Amino acid sequence: MTARWVELADGVLVRRYAELDLSVGLLLGDHHAVVVDTRSNPDQGAELRTAIRQVTPRPCTVVLTHAHFDHCLGTAAFLPAAVWAHSRCRDDLARGGAVQHAEALAWSRAHGMPRDAALVRPVVPDHLVTNNVDVDLGDRRVQLIHPGRGHTDHDIAVWSPDTGVLFAGDLVEQGADPDFTDAFPLDWPTAVTELLQMTPRTVVPGHGDPVAAEFVAAQRDDLAVLADLCRAFLAAEIDHDAAVSLSPFAPPATVAALARLDG
């Protein structure tokens, strides 16, 4: 898959990469642009910045949907841009990047890919979201929304109300099961329901193809089934094996979700 821009609506673009099946976003205004996530390392961030410059000369504002390595470690290429993220994402990245570095190494090893072992120190966001924030691009605004705990405790979605396009980060996953490594499985369905309240026309997952709201609603329903199984497991109404066998998700994802119940 060769990365290329796809325009989802007027001035709202997505760029999808084969590595990690990652999708990043670009929203254009007449004053500046918003970049949604920055890829996995400074070199990849520089590639993304060059690709953006082929679309627009406008200055960029960066929004990080969450602190996992594949979404945030390319941010240095965009400095001195403003960097928006949830306050808990800022706290995570301010710890110096060891967690993200370990994530990156583990992913590379699991996929048989060489990777520079040097630690990438994350850029610490300087503009913080705790609930919802509007960002003015000149002729349009975008909303940064924290719908509650889900994939992490600090997920941010980016909503373009004039086009109906929602960048959901990893709160929505297409082409694979949701990642529960740092998740809050009891809360995740509610967070996705909050996103659906905006009645989006198109939803861009953090990984995979853009989808319609119906896909998101179906995945929310699966997350709700898993949440009910988790509650039954906590109440000793079912055992671990039963929870795994009854889950709408594959065993590795379900086991990871069950492991997060003390999170």
pLDDT-wise least confident of 49-53, 92-96, 232-236: 92-96
CB crowding 98-119: b at 16 or more within 10 Å, else e: ebbbebbeebeeeeeeeeeeee
CA distance 80 to 59: 10
Q: In this model, does residue 97 exceed pLDDT 80?
A: no
CA distance 135 to 157: 13
Domain 5-185+202-212 has CATH 3.40.50.300: no
- Confidence (pLDDT) at 114: 62
CA distance 151 to 183: 4
Average pLDDT in the 219-225 region?
A: 99
Q: Tens digits of per-residue pLDDT, 148-169?
A: 999 999 999 999 999 999 999 9
CB-CB contact of 198 with 168 (8 Å): no
- Confidence (pLDDT) at 262: 78
What mean pLDDT is reported for the chain?
A: 94
Give this prediction's pTM. Answer: 0.94
- Confidence (pLDDT) at 144: 99
The token duo for 214 is 């119906």
What is the SS3 assignment for 194-225? HHHCCCCCEEEEEECCCECHHHHHHHHHHHHH
φ, ψ of residue 28 to 5 degrees: the values are: -105, 135
- In the chain, which residue ranges form alpha helices assigned H by DSSP? 42-53, 69-72, 87-93, 98-110, 188-196, 213-234, 240-246, 251-259
Q: In this model, does residue 237 exceed pLDDT 70?
A: yes
Confidence of residue 111 (pLDDT cuts 50, 70, 90): low
- Confidence (pLDDT) at 1: 58
